[in-house]
């Protein structure tokens, strides 16, 4: 317990000693994973939408929403400097004037963060200078989710424009597009195969206005190189909000608006499946 509002984001460091959470109660908090003890409380002017540890677990970043007259900021704190935490003074704070950040992850080696915006833009911000290193706009609507590949060379974005797209982490060069008929809320890359899983459906507020039979709430599997769909998994009776592969690639989980998290273990034929080019 600790937060008094919705928790929008959560991230654990590489050895799972600490966990970082960002919430609509205008705070970002650091916890001890083992005991649940709160180690740090960073107060903000608006809701914290995204948060994350860098590769080494020493530096954290989080972004706040543009609301109540406050603009969107990305803040960086070095956990090795207690004065930053005690005084609630980040070593760097980057303003995002145009469009708020809806999803953000650390780039390779913790040198930058990759941020997706409400406008569909992608920015790469330097973690040292705060400069925008690269800016691209391949999506026409809000980016809901960004997930990196295991080796951090690529990442996949999920957008309200009904597509997920694959990008190069360093150059932000657009490489592949996976198309659906519904908004994509989340997308994840398999650690072992050239597979990507997409989850989505309608906007949560539209769900009650349509028949459950036409919900289209399946998780959808695409081949990374050929951009072709090769499988669907039913189960959720509401939009899927998040998907993730197990680090060993043998299962994946999905969390839905229906209040369930489903863990799916792949059948033997999934591992034997050969794509016919």
Sign of CA pseudo-dihedral 11, 59, 168, 74:
positive
Q: How far apart are CA 16 and CA 200, in angstroms?
A: 28
> Quick check: 113 pLDDT over 90?
yes
Copy the structure tokens of residue 58. Answer: 């020493």
Kindly indicate the confidence band of residue 273, based on its pLDDT and cuts at 50, 70 and 90: confident
Residues ≥6 apart with Cβ < 8 Å to 231: 220, 221
Q: How far apart are CA 245 and CA 148, in angstroms?
A: 11
| 3-class secondary structure per residue, 141-192 | CCEEEEEECCCCCEEEEEECCCEEEEEECCCCCEEEEEECCCCEEEEEECCC
Kindly indicate the confidence band of residue 14, based on its pLDDT and cuts at 50, 70 and 90: very high
What's the whole-number average pLDDT of the chain? 92
Model-level pTM? Answer: 0.90
Kindly indicate the confidence band of residue 70, based on its pLDDT and cuts at 50, 70 and 90: confident
- Work out the average pLDDT over 184-213: 81
**pLDDT on residue 63:** 94
Please identify, in words, the CATH class of the domain defined by 145-276. Answer: mainly beta
Domain ranges for the chain: 145-276
Q: How far apart are CA 39 and CA 31, in angstroms?
A: 5
- Work out the average pLDDT over 19-31: 96
> What are the percentages of helix, strand and coil residues in the chain, rounded to 5?
10, 50, 45
**pLDDT on residue 274:** 76
**pLDDT on residue 98:** 79
Copy the structure tokens of residue 21. Answer: 């959470």
CB atoms within 10 A of CB 88: 13
Widest CA span in the chain: 59
**pLDDT on residue 210:** 56
């Amino acid at each position: 317990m600790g937060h008094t509002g919705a928790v929008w984001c959560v991230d654990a460091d590489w050895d799972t000693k600490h966990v970082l959470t960002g919430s609509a109660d205008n705070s970002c908090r650091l916890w001890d994973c083992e005991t649940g003890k709160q180690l740090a409380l960073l107060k903000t002017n608006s809701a914290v939408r995204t948060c994350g540890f860098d590769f080494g677990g020493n530096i954290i970043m989080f972004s706040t929403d543009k609301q109540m007259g406050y603009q969107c900021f990305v803040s960086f704190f070095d956990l090795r400097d207690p004065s930053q935490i005690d005084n609630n003074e980040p070593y760097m704070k980057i303003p995002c004037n145009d469009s708020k950040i809806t999803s953000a992850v650390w780039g390779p080696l913790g040198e930058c963060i990759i941020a997706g915006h409400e406008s569909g833009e992608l920015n790469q911000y330097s973690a040292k200078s705060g400069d925008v290193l690269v800016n691209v706009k391949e999506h026409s609507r809000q980016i809901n989710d960004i997930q990196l590949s295991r080796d951090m060379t690529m990442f996949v974005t999920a957008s309200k424009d009904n597509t997920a797209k694959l990008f190069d982490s360093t150059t932000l060069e657009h490489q592949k597009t996976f198309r659906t008929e519904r908004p994509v809320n989340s997308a994840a890359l398999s650690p072992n195969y050239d597979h990507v899983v997409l989850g989505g459906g309608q906007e949560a507020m539209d769900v009650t206005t349509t028949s459950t039979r036409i919900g289209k709430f399946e998780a959808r599997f695409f081949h990374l190189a050929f951009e072709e769909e090769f499988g669907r998994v039913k189960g959720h009776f509401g939009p899927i909000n998040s998907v993730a592969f197990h680090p060993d690639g043998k299962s994946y989980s999905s969390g839905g608006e229906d209040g369930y998290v489903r863990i799916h273990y792949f059948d033997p034929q999934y591992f034997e499946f050969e794509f016919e080019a």
